[in-house]
Homo-oligomer: A and B are copies of this chain.
Amino acid sequence: MHQYSFYVLPDKINENTAILTGDDFRHCIQVLRKKIGDEVSLVDGRGNIFHSTIQECTKTACTCRILSRETHTTDLNIKIILGFGLVKAKALELIIRDATALGVHSIVPLQTTHSIKQRLNADRAHKIAVESIKQSGNCYLPKIERPQSLAAWFKGLNSNVVKIVCDQESDGKLSELLSDSGSVKSIAVLVGPEGGLCEDELKMVFNAGFVSINLNPFRLRTELAVVAAISSICSLMK
């Protein structure tokens, strides 16, 4: 059965102790009513799980003594960088939750012609991702970037990253692209917003070295296409 873990900020951890604050402190102490001496499992979102006991408790934080540390290397064989056209708040939250549970490396909301004019509440996004690593058992928090233009995203992508764009009209097969999957270490996946990318944007995308891929013959909503793309990559990399 699933053992509940609490998220602790990496800068609140030193060799022997970790300080639990914020929502996870409240959940641990006020909801689950853990007491001094109780064992708790802590995660830092960077691959570490700390087995610890509660040592001291104030009204806003508790200090845990670290008994042991387990370090997990990332479980996926590939670094997945997810870019997607901004969608409405509810779909955006689903994307952050699901992409985190599936183990992506980073999440990049993109401002495109057809995307929703949507701000990203960074605190809320972080909270959703933390919940998702706790639920899924993935030990790594993805990096959630600020909404940015396609051009800005492309500029930041390393040249050795395989780049794909999901396109219902394409004949491109992910299985062929990844057939020599041993040599692929990182992949950037671009999923358009509802209404797709416009022609000028598609030109930019192909100029930046993206290859179009057909994941499914049907028209998938952005949040469904995101999950389909990540899952397909995971299954082909195995």
Contact = CB atoms under 8 A, between A and B. Distances in A.
Given A136-B219, A136-B220, A137-B218, 11 more contacts: A102-B218, A103-B218, A137-B219, A138-B217, A174-B235, A175-B236, A215-B234, A215-B235, A232-B232, A232-B235, A236-B236
A98 B94 CA distance: 13
Contacts of A217: 75-76, 103, 138
A216 interface: yes
Interface stretch (A32-40, A118-126, A202-210, A221-229): A221-229
Interface string A175-196: 1000000000000000000010
A218 B75 contact: yes
Q: Which 10 A-B pairs have the closest CB atoms?
A: A232-B235, A75-B217, A228-B231, A136-B218, A231-B231, A138-B218, A137-B219, A227-B227, A173-B238, A136-B219
A3 B153 CA distance: 32
Looking at A76, A217, A221, the one whose CB has the most chain B CB atoms below 10 A away is A217
State the number of copies, please: 2
Bin the interface of chain A by size: 20 to 34
A155 interface: no
Nearest to A220: B101
Given A101-B224, A221-B101, A216 B231 contact: yes
Looking at A137, A173, A232, the one whose CB has the most chain B CB atoms below 10 A away is A232
